[in-house]
């Protein structure tokens, strides 16, 4: 790009060299050891005085200079006890502290949350108590104290946390009013399930009502409006002068006073008699219950039925249940409820849903008790059969993942079932929302926890009745949630007592197995099918039926199969899941789901097998914002159970795994009837074998076949970035850490290619001081860049020269020529003069034949290098016809390939069309760009050029303010070049630079985000149809601390969470699409 790309590097280096390092790692080591001594911990905490803190201590991350600790992450480390003061609080440079999901108790020392550098504090899921400290770091962005036992009021100090983005205080015992929190950056808030009271402040009323639920004394939007405004105090009555007046009692005679007193005494005696009768009546009822010791039977009329021990007739099949007579509610043993039908009828009711077997209500009794009542549809069934089934259901409810039946009511006309109320609704509401709530963002770990618990509940139900019991109505609305995602399966055991199966319009058809729809019979195998649909619903975020009531209805299993068959696998998964960096886990769960929905019932696994397969998935529960290094490990540093299982069957790897793939394909194409789990494994084997091969093979070069990039015979897609100054920074040890930081942050979001300069001609820290004279220390800096890229699984595009004056470029070559006595008049003679071309060729040869001092691999043999670039953004205004530049490209492409025929080669073009295709000139941003001496089609038809390069800078090329015009140009510009690469050039096209400058007041961060998303969307569309669009490189990625070099286009991922998410999402979609593609 033609902007100035480096202006202040010497100042930066001076700052790095002069900044004093004051952190004392030894002191921080002592503080951490003191923490470990006081807090009880398990084996995970491997801290020892004899081992280095920064490289071997679990959960500890140090700064790049390894002088101080900046992050401490110990989630789920089995820590027990209180957090000691003067330990963690001594880590003065600590930025992230995560002690979540442990057994920590008592207060949080004030010196911890007040650390001035702390920006993320995760203490959720402990047993901490006391008041929330008032002294808080002003830099806090994430503050999570949820699921503890904190008391007192929300501290006013939170009002000063102007950088706070996330505040989670739910499920504590906080009380008092919510303070006015005018926090401009607050995006997520949860204060639910505390004892807060009063009106919700205006500044927080835009948050959803779920943020405030469970606080019965809160009012105001988004909850119910506040009522009962207290009246203003009445003015005090004027003082009445004291007078000597005769009082009322003074006027009455003594006889009247005696008569009134006698009446009052008689009334009091009557009240006492009534109270004694009530007490005796209650005692009699209590004795009856004690004698029975099994159930509470309460009359709807308020009359007591006293039943002596053993009076229940045997033909009632009462196993711990008293006879259910007319108008009686029957409660099972262990139920704490004590109300009758009239209490229930007086309760306020709310319809929760109308299901297959009846309507479900939420009932709140007058005393505040909340229960769920299911009113069954009309059925013809005898009392004996009904009671027997209720007893079976009650016995099966004795499991933590099965909703317990607490009681029932039977009469000829009405049949009710009473359950506990699940405060967090259903899995369906969580995934899809409902009429009153929007969809909740629920992460991968939580979803798997829910389905895993639901599977245990179903397995328990299937074990009932000697292994013959069936649920019969598995769906997401029957997976209920309470507390901390405690999961219960509901609505089971009713299929067998319904007189006729519900019609397909009444039933949730999308969950029904094919054989159940045909026969109306439920089996355990049909339950497995329904659970498989539930898994697909969890993975896709879609309802079981996509178009109910229309002729083109498609159930979820068929839709998923069609998408996978068309190799659009990335479109299967819920976009919310793609933010969590767990591609392998998603694919494994998809395979489990598809095994469950096999058409043939006998091919479906049993629920115990399903549980085992789910448990084999290695789950990762990252912190809300883990560090770039940790995220990189989460994404790329783990092997799934699928890979390990494949390694078991394919071991030793020296056996040609392509034979296994061939065998798998042959079996899949044969008519042999195989079990579902074998089919699933064979279908996955080609991908797994390829993964194993890539893990075991050497780091190999990327090649090209037509419009495809290939790595080990499989598609390779460029998802990368530009950082041009890496060599210069790597030259000095004081700035080398920034190079590592860039690669860490890039790999953490899935970027796999970096484009950078392999030149710096004359000037400060020059690589080429003069023609063919090089600074070895700078060359060693380039060696470091190449070696570090390899460590982070990142390929490099190395450019040989610049069209612009930054870093020397063609202007410096011409200057050298003039100094040597050449008669040169314009910088464009760089492309013409034989001596200047000789200078350029000598530099190219020097780079290609350079032996890396770190890796000991010659550059031309190093697979880390993805491609060479002839020159960045060449233009030759001297010759608008394009002949001069075309001749130069042909000569230099031939020269590069004569030395290095293995690596890919590209030109570095911006993509402007030229005179060879006059019909395409209108596709340029304007007429000027057709006269700069470049020609996209002609230039890229040069022998030796392997792929096309195009840049996108609509903010510079189009003068209008950012609008639909810019995005429309991006779409058209990209599509035109991809069409030409498909139909004319037959080569891949990479959009080597694209970005939006924030220095231009017309553009905002939102504009930049839309711009990047548009580029990714166009490329993914091309990928889906196997087109030539093979990647892009964002201009440009910077680490923190380099802001002063920003040309307006810099993206600092640690400060740009939305863009990090966009880049990561694109990476996940590409990986998912590739995962199901065969060789």
CA atoms of 976 and 974, how far apart (whole Å): 6
Q: List CB contacts of 443: < 8 A, sequence separation 6 or more.
A: 576, 577, 580
Residue 537's nearest CA partner among 456, 605, 472, 450 is 450
* Exposure letters 93-123 (e unless 16+ CB within 10 A, then b): bbbbbbbbbbebbeebbebbbbbeebbbbbb
Q: What is the DSSP letter of 1042?
A: -
Token code pair at residue 382: 């005898």
Our answer to whether residue 873 is catalytic in this structure is: yes
| Residue pointed to by tokens 């009962």 | 228
Q: Which of 233, 196, 231, 191 is nearest to 208 (CA)?
A: 191
| 3-class DSSP assignment, residue 672 | coil
Pick the catalytic residue: 693, 806, 829, 873?
873
Strand positions, DSSP E, 1008-1078: 1029-1035
CB 577 within 8 A of CB 595: no
Identify the bridge partners of residue 796 per DSSP, sorted by sequence position. 754, 865
**Residue-wise over 1011-1033: b if at least 16 C-beta within 10 A, else e?**
bbbbbbebbbebbeeebbbbbbb
Radius of gyration, alpha carbons of the chain: 37
Residue numbers in the known binding site are 383
Residue set of the binding site for ATP: 383
Which residues make Cβ contacts (< 8 Å) with residue 822, sequence separation at least 6? 833, 835, 836
3-state SS, one letter per residue, for 938-960: HHHCCCCCCCEEEEECHHHHCCC
CA nearest 363: which of 343, 345, 346, 347? 347
CA pair distance 1048, 299, nearest whole angstrom = 78
Q: Single out the catalytic residue among 993, 1006, 1040, 1078.
A: 993
CA 9 to chain centre: 37
- Cα 1078 to Cα 1068: distance, rounded to the nearest angstrom: 18
Residue 990 tokens, joined: 């990479």
- Its sign, for the CA torsion 262, 264, 267, 272, is negative
Contact (Cβ atoms closer than 8 angstroms) between residue 746 and residue 801: no
Question: Cα–Cα distance between 989 and 982 in angstroms, integer?
Answer: 9
DSSP E strands: which ranges in 451-553? Answer: 479-482, 486-489
Beta bridge partners of 761: 768
Specify whether the CB–CB gap between 120 and 100 falls below 8 A.
Answer: no
388 near 396, Cβ under 8 Å? Answer: no
* CA 263 – CA 275 distance, rounded (Å): 19
Alpha carbon 262 to its chain's center: 78
Give the active site residues: 873, 993
């Amino acid at each position: 790009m033609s902007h100035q790309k480096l202006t202040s590097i010497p100042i930066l280096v001076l700052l790095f060299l002069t900044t004093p390092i004051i952190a004392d790692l030894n002191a921080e080591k002592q503080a951490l050891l003191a923490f470990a001594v006081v807090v009880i911990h398990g084996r995970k905490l491997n801290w020892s005085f004899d081992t280095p803190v920064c490289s071997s201590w679990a959960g500890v991350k140090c700064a790049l200079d390894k002088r101080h600790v900046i992050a401490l992450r110990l989630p789920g480390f089995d820590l027990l006890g209180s957090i000691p003061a003067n330990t963690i609080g001594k880590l003065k440079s600590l930025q992230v502290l995560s002690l979540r999901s442990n057994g920590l108790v008592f207060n949080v020392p004030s010196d911890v949350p007040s650390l001035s550098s702390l920006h993320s504090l995760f203490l959720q899921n402990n047993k901490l108590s006391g008041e929330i400290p008032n002294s808080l770091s002003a830099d806090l962005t994430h503050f999570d104290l949820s699921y503890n036992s904190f008391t007192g009021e929300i501290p006013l100090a939170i009002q000063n946390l102007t950088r706070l983005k996330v505040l989670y205080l739910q499920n504590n015992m906080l009380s008092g009013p919510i303070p006015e929190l005018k926090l401009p950056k607050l995006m997520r808030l949860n204060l639910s399930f505390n004892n807060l009271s009063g009106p919700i402040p205006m500044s927080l009323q835009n948050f959803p009502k779920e943020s405030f639920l469970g606080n019965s004394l809160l009012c105001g939007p988004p909850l119910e409006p506040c009522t009962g405004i207290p009246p203003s105090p009445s003015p005090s009555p004027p003082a009445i002068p004291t007078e000597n007046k005769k009082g009322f009692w003074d006027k009455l005679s003594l006889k009247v006073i005696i008569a009134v007193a006698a009446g009052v005494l008689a009334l009091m005696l009557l009240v006492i008699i009534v109270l004694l009768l009530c007490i005796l009546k209650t005692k009699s009822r209590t004795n009856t219950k004690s004698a029975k010791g099994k159930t509470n039977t309460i009359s709807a009329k308020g009359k007591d039925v006293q039943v002596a021990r053993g009076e229940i007739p045997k033909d009632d099949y009462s196993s711990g249940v008293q006879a259910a007579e007319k108008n009686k509610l029957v409660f099972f043993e262990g139920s704490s409820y004590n109300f009758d039908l009239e209490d229930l009828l007086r309760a306020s009711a709310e319809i929760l849903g109308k299901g297959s077997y009846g309507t479900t209500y939420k009932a709140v009794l007058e005393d505040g008790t909340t229960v769920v009542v299911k009113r069954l549809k009309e059925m013809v069934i005898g009392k004996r059969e009904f009671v027997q089934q209720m007893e079976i259901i009650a016995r099966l409810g004795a499991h933590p993942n099965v909703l317990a039946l607490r009681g029932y009511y039977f009469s000829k006309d009405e049949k009710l079932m009473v359950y506990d109320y699940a405060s967090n609704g259903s899995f369906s509401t969580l995934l899809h929302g409902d009429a009153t709530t929007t969809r909740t963002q629920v992460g991968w770990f939580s979803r798997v926890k829910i389905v895993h618990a639901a599977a245990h509940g179903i397995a328990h139900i299937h074990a009932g009745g000697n292994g013959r019991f069936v649920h019969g109505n598995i769906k997401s609305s029957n997976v209920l949630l309470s507390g901390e995602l405690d999961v219960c399966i509901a609505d089971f055991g009713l299929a067998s007592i319904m007189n006729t199966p519900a019609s397909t319009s009444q039933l949730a058809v999308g969950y029904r197995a094919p054989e159940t729809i045909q026969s109306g019979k439920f089996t355990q195998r049909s339950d497995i099918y329904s659970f498989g649909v539930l898994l697909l619903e969890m993975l896709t975020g879609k309802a079981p039926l996509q178009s109910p009531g229309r002729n083109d209805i498609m159930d979820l299993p068929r839709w998923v199969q069609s998408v996978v068959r068309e190799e659009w696998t990335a479109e299967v998964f819920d976009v919310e899941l793609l933010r969590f960096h767990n591609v392998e886990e998603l694919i494994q769960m998809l395979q489990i789901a598809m095994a469950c929905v096999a058409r043939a019932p006998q091919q479906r696994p049993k629920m115990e097998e399903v549980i085992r397969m789910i448990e084999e998935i290695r789950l990762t529960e990252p912190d809300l914002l883990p560090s770039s290094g940790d995220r990189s490990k989460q994404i790329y540093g783990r092997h799934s159970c699928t890979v390990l299982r494949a390694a078991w069957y394919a071991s030793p790897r020296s056996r040609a795994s392509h034979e296994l793939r061939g065998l798998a394909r042959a079996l899949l194409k044969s008519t042999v009837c195989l079990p579902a789990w074998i089919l699933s494994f064979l279908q996955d084997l080609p991908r797994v074998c390829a993964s194993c091969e890539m893990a075991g093979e050497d780091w190999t070069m990327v090649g090209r076949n037509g419009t495809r990039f290939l790595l080990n015979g499989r598609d390779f897609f460029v998802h990368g970035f530009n950082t041009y100054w890496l060599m210069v920074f790597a030259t000095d040890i004081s700035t080398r850490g920034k190079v590592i930081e860039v690669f860490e942050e890039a790999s953490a979001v899935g970027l796999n290619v970096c484009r950078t300069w392999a030149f710096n001609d004359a000037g400060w820290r020059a690589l080429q001081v003069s023609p063919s004279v090089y600074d070895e220390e700078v060359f060693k800096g380039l060696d470091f860049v190449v070696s570090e890229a390899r460590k982070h699984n990142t390929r490099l595009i190395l450019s040989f020269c610049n069209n612009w004056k930054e870093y020397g470029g063609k202007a410096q070559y011409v200057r050298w020529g003039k100094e040597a006595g050449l008669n040169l008049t314009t910088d464009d003679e760089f492309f013409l003069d034989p001596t200047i071309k000789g200078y350029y060729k000598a530099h190219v040869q020097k780079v290609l034949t350079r032996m890396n001092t770190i890796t000991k691999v010659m550059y031309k043999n190093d697979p880390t290098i993805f491609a060479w670039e002839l020159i960045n953004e060449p233009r030759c205004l001297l010759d608008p016809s394009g002949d001069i530049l075309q001749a130069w490209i042909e000569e230099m492409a031939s020269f590069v390939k004569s030395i290095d025929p293995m690596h890919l080669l590209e030109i570095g073009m911006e993509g402007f069309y030229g005179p060879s295709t006059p019909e395409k000139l209108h596709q340029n941003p304007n007429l000027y760009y057709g006269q700069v001496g470049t020609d996209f089609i002609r230039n890229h038809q040069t022998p030796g050029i392997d792929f096309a390069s195009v840049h996108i800078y609509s903010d510079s090329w189009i003068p209008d303010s950012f609008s639909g015009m810019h995005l429309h140009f991006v779409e058209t510009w990209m599509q035109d070049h991809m069409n030409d690469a498909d139909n004319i050039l037959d080569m891949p096209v990479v959009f080597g630079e694209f970005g939006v400058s924030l220095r231009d007041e017309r553009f905002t961060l939102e504009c930049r985000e839309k711009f990047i998303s548009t580029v990714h969307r166009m490329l993914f569309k091309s990928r889906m149809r196997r087109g030539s669009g093979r990647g892009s490189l964002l201009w440009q990625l910077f680490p923190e601390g380099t802001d002063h070099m920003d040309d307006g286009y810099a993206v600092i991922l640690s400060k740009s969470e939305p863009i990090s998410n966009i880049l990561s999402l694109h990476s996940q979609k590409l990986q998912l699409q590739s995962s199901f593609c065969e060789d």
